[in-house]
Amino acid sequence: MSTNNKAIFLDRDGVLNEEIGAYVWEPDKFIICEGVPESLARLKAAGYYLIVVTNQAGIAKKLYTAAEVRACHAKLQSTCGGIIDALYFADAHPSVSESILRKPSSGMLEKAVARFGLDIAQCWIVGDRLRDMQAGANIGVRGILVGEEGNTEGFAPHVADLRAATALILSQ
């Protein structure tokens, strides 16, 4: 058994890929944010599992398929050298179906904790929405909010992007 029991939970849209104000399911519109491959490599080198946790309500709304989400995730893995350990997505939407996986619920994080034997005290979640922070808080994972100042409602820590979040995590 590995002694590596710490992880970074990563929201996808607005953290790993550019937030375009609409659902992103086409690989050609799935643009990896600047600094993401380098940031993930630094976190991996520091011994963290890298686990993507993303709400994909467009599947429940029949706007796109799970296969299209997986194609975007394949592009992400390819761009980042295949170092992401797990990619979870919640395919529900409250207007169609309920799910304990969908953030702000913590089901995706709990699945990863069980799968990888994680110590939640050594884990972080990096996201661009308060629901990401809530999903982490539900199981005691520290959160770092990234992105525009407008949607933070005073949440701290709040940093510009994944590069800044990585620097903060590695300074602890």
Q: Which domain holds residue 139?
A: 7-171
Structure tokens at 39: 């940031």
Give domain status of residue 2, yes or no.
no
- Residues belonging to the active site: 11, 13
pLDDT at 144 over 60: yes
Asked whether residue 42 is assigned to any structural domain, the reply reads: yes
Residue 58: both structure tokens together: 């467009």
Say how far apart CA 96 and CA 15 lie, in whole Å: 26
pLDDT value, residue 97: 72
Total structural domains within the chain: 1
Q: Is the pLDDT of residue 156 over 70?
A: yes
pLDDT class of 2 with cuts at 50, 70, 90: very low
| Distance, CA of 39 to CA of 26 (rounded, Å) | 24
The proportion of the chain whose per-residue pLDDT surpasses 70, expressed as a percent, equals 95
Residue 1 lies in a domain: no
CB 135 within 8 A of CB 104: yes
Q: Is residue 140 part of a domain?
A: yes
Give the pLDDT confidence of 77-93 residue by residue, as tens digits. Answer: 999 999 999 999 999 88
Average pLDDT, the chain: 92
**Average pLDDT, integer, range 31-52:** 97
Residue 128 lies in a domain: yes
Q: Would you put residue 86 in left (φ > 0), alpha (ψ -120 to 50) or beta?
A: beta
The CATH code of the domain that includes 121 is 3.40.50.1000
Domain membership of residue 103 (yes or no) is yes
What was the pLDDT predicted at 152?
Answer: 63
Confidence of residue 1 (pLDDT cuts 50, 70, 90): very low
How far is 83 from 66, CA to CA, in rounded Å? Answer: 21
